[in-house]
Structure 1
Amino acid sequence: MLHKNWIVLRTFLIAATSGFVLHSIGIFLPWLLGPMISLLLLRQYTKLEFHWPRILRQMGLIFLGIQIGSSFTKKAIELMWIDLPLMALLTFSVVIVALLLSYVFMKMSGETVATSVLGSLPGGLSQMVLLSEEVKSANSTVVMLMQTFRIFVVVTIVPFLTAWIPKGSHFNDGSLDVLSSFNTTHFIIFVVGGIALFIGMKKIHFPLPELMAPIIAMAIVQFITDHPVVEVPFLVLILSQIFVGSHLGLQLEKVRDKLSVRMFSAIVLSNLVLIAFCVGFAYVLTAIHPINTFLDFFISAAPGGIAEMSITALETGADLSTVTSFHLFRIFFILLIAGPLLTYALKKWLK
């Protein structure tokens, strides 16, 4: 037990140190990228042993969820209804392009149609892997690699791209006034509601309940009361990024043994094309809906995970509620509609 605790401590020290080094030299998103890149490289090219308990990742996601949820003010939620057509347009477009790119991936990698489709769809790692297990011709390991590596590609490329994008200004600022007084009743309602949502999401196997439950619970309480619930201290946000970044870095365990040059090239190419499409589409959305900035729409369109893209929005000054809303819409659409329909269609087609 003592040996295992020391391994966890060593993992944390390496992650925190690498984040601090990147922060010191001015690299963008250092507390997420530092742990992720350093632990990935050390895991692949050294014999050092690392361990990252699931509870630490969960803690990081919970505090990130609280911070993200705090951006959902009553005004911001009301503005979401205006953005619903844009959310649908963006989500449909990204899904269609992802499906087209799955054909390119299939031709380049030699994988099956089912594997290529489920691996290319930006619907979340765990859910796409679960769906792939229901289709006989789908290779769940390859789907997991595709989904995980896409997150890695997006998280390493998108933050650097956003560093060169002008932030602009928002016409509508949905932020609440500075927290003037802590309301115990509101906080208790938020905690009870968050726990209830978490339990419900776990029962139906909804992805990332640690992140989603506090977001939704916070948004509901703040919408009803029109009062901020709680602010997450800056140091806690840094720790949360370290916790999530460490998990991402260690997630690609011994990837060299499973990832061929051919497959690596197919994954990178398809994701670069998808990111380029998101850049172009963000310009279109900015032109037809100038209430939000290009940065808002670009991070909203980027095919990364909601946690990683929300951290990017936090660091760049993008409108957090807008980014989270678009990604939530995409998650619900893919998990509840596109994913099951495609799985059903693939099963029928294979028969």
Structure 2
Amino acid sequence: MSSKDVSFKPEKKTTIGHDGYGPLVLAIAIGTAGGFVFDWLKMPLAWMLGACVFATVAAFFGLRIGMKVRLRQGMIIVLGVLLGSGFTPELVQRLGEWAVSLCVLTGMTMTGAMLCYAWLRRTTDWDKPTCYFAAMPGGLNDMTIMGGAMGGEERAIALAHALRILTVVLTIPVWYRLVNGAQTSVLAMVHGPSGNDWKDYAVLIACGVVGAVAGRLLRLPASFMMGPMIVSALAHLGGLTNSQPPGFLVAAAQVVVGTAIGCRFVGAALDRLHKEMAASIGAALILIGCAVIFAKITVALTGLNLDATVLSYAPGGFAEMSLIGLALGIEIAMVATHHLFRLFLIIFTGPLVFRTFLKHDH
């Protein structure tokens, strides 16, 4: 089957999945139900994981679900502010300890990407640009847009990245639940003082608004999360506040982010995409294997915490991995710093490597 037949839609400018408010309401209702079920099962990151699973199943069954990109961006801003609150002066002093880990992450990213490229070339009939940008563990939208600009098939690249994120999100929290017995309610995720006053809320809202605008103007990768996270981190480091967004808002953000993952599979027919889906899931498992192996090497070299290092290296989305770290009580500044580094590394070097080594012989 040609990659041109892949009936899979990358994220549009306004909607993921079906357009309109009916599909949006249905998607959020399904996602919320999933969140309640997974919360009842005491799964870590229950609201995102449950929403993700229920929405994905709904998409494959052909239900008309959709997610407004603006709503997802708004919730991503909330999560960015929340992540920024995890940066403390003590953690910043530890940046030096992460130098070796960031170097190993560079090697792991290159190794994982090469292995995934070879795997996708062998198991699909996608062309070289499509395989290359599908193999890069970068942001879904960034890789889809770059890959399309370099002559790749956008729908196939989006499918590969959506499945990578889905595989990682379903694998890592469940592993921690089954092996380590991890279970976290959303309220336990927000460790800060619950009695926020109007000044705290004013600072948090300002962090979100200023961060989102600055992130867009500076064209940061994952700008709606990274911008607010950086501004929030500066506000918390500067002592302007030590508060966090309220727990119900964090739960709502998880539902929206999880539901959006599921909505990416609208139009992805299982019977026609099974070969590409199996290849994409295989690529995700290769990247997870690389993350575990290289994390163990890093721990042997540095003595860093293994769980924190695995999560820092895991090939999930920036928002999803940071949330999992938060839910599991793992050092969020370390996880976020490593994922930002990986995003910048891929965005700056990915197209360059492609032009140098692959463009002329595709």
Task: Bin the TM-score by the shorter chain.
Answer: 0.7 to 0.9
Alignment-mate amino acid for residue 267 of structure 1: S
1:118–1:128 CA contact under 8 A, matched in 2: yes
* Residue number in structure 1 paired with 2:38: 22
Alpha-carbon distance in 2 for matches of 1:181, 1:42: 38
Measured on the aligned residues, the alpha-carbon RMSD in Å equals: 2.8
1:291-332 deviation per Cα after TM superposition (whole angstroms, max 9, x unaligned): x32110111110001110011111111111111111011111
Secondary structure of the corresponding residue to residue 161 of structure 1: helix
- Matching of residue 146 in structure 1 with residue 146 in structure 2: no
* Residue number in structure 2 paired with 1:174: none
Secondary structure of the corresponding residue to residue 286 of structure 1: helix
- Matching of residue 302 in structure 1 with residue 314 in structure 2: yes
Name the TM-score, length of structure 2 as normaliser: 0.83
* Residue number in structure 1 paired with 2:92: 77
2:87–2:236 CA contact under 8 A, matched in 1: yes
Which of 301, 307, 312 is the aligned partner of 1:288?
301
Alpha-carbon distance in 1 for matches of 2:358, 2:290: 30
Per-residue deviation at 1:348? 4.6
Alpha-carbon distance in 1 for matches of 2:195, 2:43: 36
Name the TM-score, length of structure 1 as normaliser: 0.86
* Residue number in structure 2 paired with 1:44: 60
Q: Label 1:112 to 1:238 Cα distance change in 2 as closer, same or farther (>3 A).
A: same
1:80-107 deviation per Cα after TM superposition (whole angstroms, max 9, x unaligned): 2331231122133223222222112111
Q: How does 1:24-173 map to 2 (within 5 A)?
A: 24-46=40-62, 48-136=63-151, 138-164=152-178, 166=180
* Residue number in structure 2 paired with 1:275: 288
Q: Label 1:75 to 1:183 Cα distance change in 2 as closer, same or farther (>3 A).
A: farther
> Percent sequence identity over matched residues?
23
Q: Label 1:255 to 1:222 Cα distance change in 2 as closer, same or farther (>3 A).
A: same
2:144–2:154 CA contact under 8 A, matched in 1: yes
* Residue number in structure 2 paired with 1:215: 229
Per-residue deviation at 1:4? 5.0
Alpha-carbon distance in 1 for matches of 2:30, 2:332: 29
Alpha-carbon distance in 1 for matches of 2:127, 2:200: 51
Q: Point out the more displaced range, 51-60 or 252-261.
A: 252-261
Alignment-mate amino acid for residue 88 of structure 2: T
Per-residue deviation at 1:202? 2.2
Q: Label 1:165 to 1:289 Cα distance change in 2 as closer, same or farther (>3 A).
A: farther
* Residue number in structure 2 paired with 1:206: 220
Secondary structure of the corresponding residue to residue 231 of structure 1: coil
1:259-304 deviation per Cα after TM superposition (whole angstroms, max 9, x unaligned): 63322222122221221221122222222222x3211011111000
2:80–2:224 CA contact under 8 A, matched in 1: yes
Alpha-carbon distance in 2 for matches of 1:130, 1:7: 25
Alpha-carbon distance in 2 for matches of 1:217, 1:243: 23
Gaps of at least 5 residues in structure 2 are 1-18, 183-190
Per-residue deviation at 1:205? 4.1
Q: Point out the more displaced range, 261-270 or 250-259.
A: 250-259
Gaps of at least 5 residues in structure 1 are 169-176
Alpha-carbon distance in 2 for matches of 1:73, 1:88: 23
| Aligned residue-pair number | 336
Alpha-carbon distance in 1 for matches of 2:126, 2:162: 17
- Matching of residue 342 in structure 1 with residue 342 in structure 2: no
- Matching of residue 321 in structure 1 with residue 333 in structure 2: yes
